[in-house]
């Protein structure tokens, strides 16, 4: 079968795209490599999505999936391992099958960035984690560190403060990147201790991580922790596109607000493209824009 559209990625951008392609009458296949919902599923609370004053990321993702499934979403949990977007009939290969469509919407999002310092790899899953919502409960009454200064880091620190005895928030610069409302909540939370202009030089431990070796303005310091949560940003997984579309220096697909690439019939939506603001609301908007562009392309408009 040749689909009208294959959407690669089942996060907010991909599922929103499916909402629009299905309502537009397009035969649609969505491929998701892991779990539907994307990055937002690990957000304990989403408070900045219009008309949803407070919802957990997991609840939001589930509602979105159910909304799209109710209008006939076909989803396969397979990772796209190779794509050929240039021909009129485009191909996506997974470990299990080969799929074809007249248009493709690439919406794979981003994955966690690493610090690349000694001990990080060794202690991943042994005290070092990327997800406070998933692993935070393991540290009830214990001391943990969160590394990063963006929205994710501050949200995770606040979430962990509700579980742990103390949260050490370590950021490499003298000011946080996170939005002001989160910074105010962190400042008011007694269990969070902030370390500014501080970097983790090494994760130290035995079978599990026990200490962080920090470089601070006052010199080197060993900080005893039971766990550490990395929240130092995200990286796009766009490498298999490199032969076909322009990527910027950080690996994001160069595409504008119309979500079009220079390859006809190949669209890109959400955090994996170049954009000034990566938020749930902009990912949802991209899904709608990319889907509408795909519909227009198929109509020859």
Residues in contact with ligand NAP by the rule CB under 6 A: 43, 46, 48, 113, 115, 148-153, 155, 172-173, 177, 199, 231-234, 278-279
Catalytic residue among 4, 117, 134, 218: 134
Smallest separation, CB 149 to ligand NAP (Å): 3
Q: Between 65 and 169, whose beta carbon lies closer to ligand NAP? A: 169
Chain position whose Cβ is nearest to ligand NAP: 150
Smallest separation, CB 231 to ligand NAP (Å): 6
Question: SS3 for 15?
Answer: helix
- Residue by residue, DSSP assigns 63-132 as HHHHHHHTTT-EEE-----EEE-SSSSEEEE-SS-EEEEEEEEE---EEEPP---TTHHHHBTTTEES-H
Smallest separation, CB 165 to ligand NAP (Å): 24
Q: Between 73 and 178, whose beta carbon lies closer to ligand NAP? A: 178
Tell me, yes or no, if 206 is annotated catalytic.
no
- As a 3-state breakdown, the chain gives helix, strand, coil percent values, each rounded to 5, of 30, 30, 40
213, 215, 216, 222: CA torsion to nearest 10:
20
Catalytic residue among 4, 117, 131, 164: 131
Smallest separation, CB 63 to ligand NAP (Å): 17
Instruction: Tell me the two tokens of residue 191.
Output: 């269990």
Beta bridge partners of 172: none
Smallest separation, CB 43 to ligand NAP (Å): 6
**DSSP label at 136?**
G
Kind plus residue range of the DSSP H or E element containing 195: strand 192-195
Q: Between 196 and 288, whose beta carbon lies closer to ligand NAP? A: 196
CB 107 within 8 A of CB 9: yes
CB 160 within 8 A of CB 135: no
Q: Between 156 and 226, whose beta carbon lies closer to ligand NAP? A: 156
Tell me, yes or no, if 135 is annotated catalytic.
yes
Tell me, yes or no, if 272 is annotated catalytic.
no
Catalytic residue among 4, 117, 135, 258: 135
Q: Between 46 and 259, whose beta carbon lies closer to ligand NAP? A: 46
**CB contact set of 277 (below 8 Å; sequence gap of 6+):** none
Known catalytic residues? 131, 134-135
């Amino acid at each position: 079968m040749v689909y009208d559209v294959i959407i690669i990625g089942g996060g907010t951008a991909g599922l929103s795209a499916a909402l629009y392609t299905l309502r537009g009458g397009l035969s649609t296949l969505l491929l998701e490599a892991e779990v539907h919902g994307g990055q937002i599923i690990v957000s304990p609370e989403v408070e900045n999505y219009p008309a949803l004053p407070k919802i957990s990321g997991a609840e939001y993702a589930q509602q979105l999936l159910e909304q799209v499934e109710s209008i006939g979403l076909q989803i396969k949990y397979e990772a796209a391992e190779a794509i050929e977007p240039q021909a009129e009939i485009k191909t996506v290969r997974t470990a299990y099958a080969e799929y074809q469509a007249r248009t493709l919407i690439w919406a794979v999002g981003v994955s966690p960035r690493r610090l690349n310092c000694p001990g990080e790899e060794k202690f991943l899953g042994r005290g070092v984690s990327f997800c406070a919502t998933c692993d935070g409960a393991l540290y009830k009454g214990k001391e943990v560190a969160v590394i990063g200064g963006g929205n994710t880091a501050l949200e995770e620190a606040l979430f962990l403060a509700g579980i742990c005895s103390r949260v050490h928030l370590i950021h490499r610069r003298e000011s946080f990147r996170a939005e002001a409302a989160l910074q105010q909540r962190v400042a008011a939370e007694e269990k969070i201790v902030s370390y500014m202009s501080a970097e983790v030089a090494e994760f130290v431990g035995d079978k599990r991580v026990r200490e962080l070796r920090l470089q601070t303005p006052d010199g080197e310091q060993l900080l005893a922790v039971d766990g550490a949560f990395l929240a130092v940003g995200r990286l796009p997984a766009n490498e298999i596109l490199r032969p076909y579309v322009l990527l910027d220096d950080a690996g994001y697909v160069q595409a504008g607000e119309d979500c079009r690439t220079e390859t006809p019939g190949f669209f890109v939506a959400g955090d994996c493209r170049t954009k000034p603001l990566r938020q749930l609301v902009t990912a949802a908007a991209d899904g709608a824009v990319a889907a509408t562009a795909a519909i227009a392309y198929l109509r020859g408009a």
